[in-house]
């Protein structure tokens, strides 16, 4: 994404630049990854990608269970 003024800015999707509008309550940093949630005419509705975070204990459990095949 590029800099947004208010809720409106520009994003690149598969190498093509689009006009975009943030979902209500969303904020976005420059070059942050986004998910397209809809389209309004030629303007995409987007929100920021939220990375999935595992707790250390959950990650350790997954590694342990994978090793016990």
Distance CA 15, CA 29 (A): 19
The yes-or-no verdict on residue 28 having pLDDT over 60 is yes
Query: In the chain, how many H helices and how many E strands?
Result: 1, 4
Q: What's the average model confidence in pLDDT over 20-35?
A: 86
Q: What's the average model confidence in pLDDT over 18-23?
A: 93
The yes-or-no verdict on residue 65 having pLDDT over 90 is no
pTM: 0.64
Query: What local confidence, expressed as pLDDT, does residue 58 receive?
Result: 61
């Amino acid at each position: 994404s590029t800099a947004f003024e208010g809720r409106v800015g520009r994003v690149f999707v598969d190498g093509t630049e689009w006009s975009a509008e943030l979902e209500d309550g969303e904020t976005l940093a420059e070059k942050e990854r986004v998910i397209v949630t809809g389209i309004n005419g030629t303007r995409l509705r987007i929100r920021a990608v939220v990375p999935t975070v595992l707790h250390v204990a959950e990650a350790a459990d997954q590694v342990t269970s994978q090793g016990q095949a």
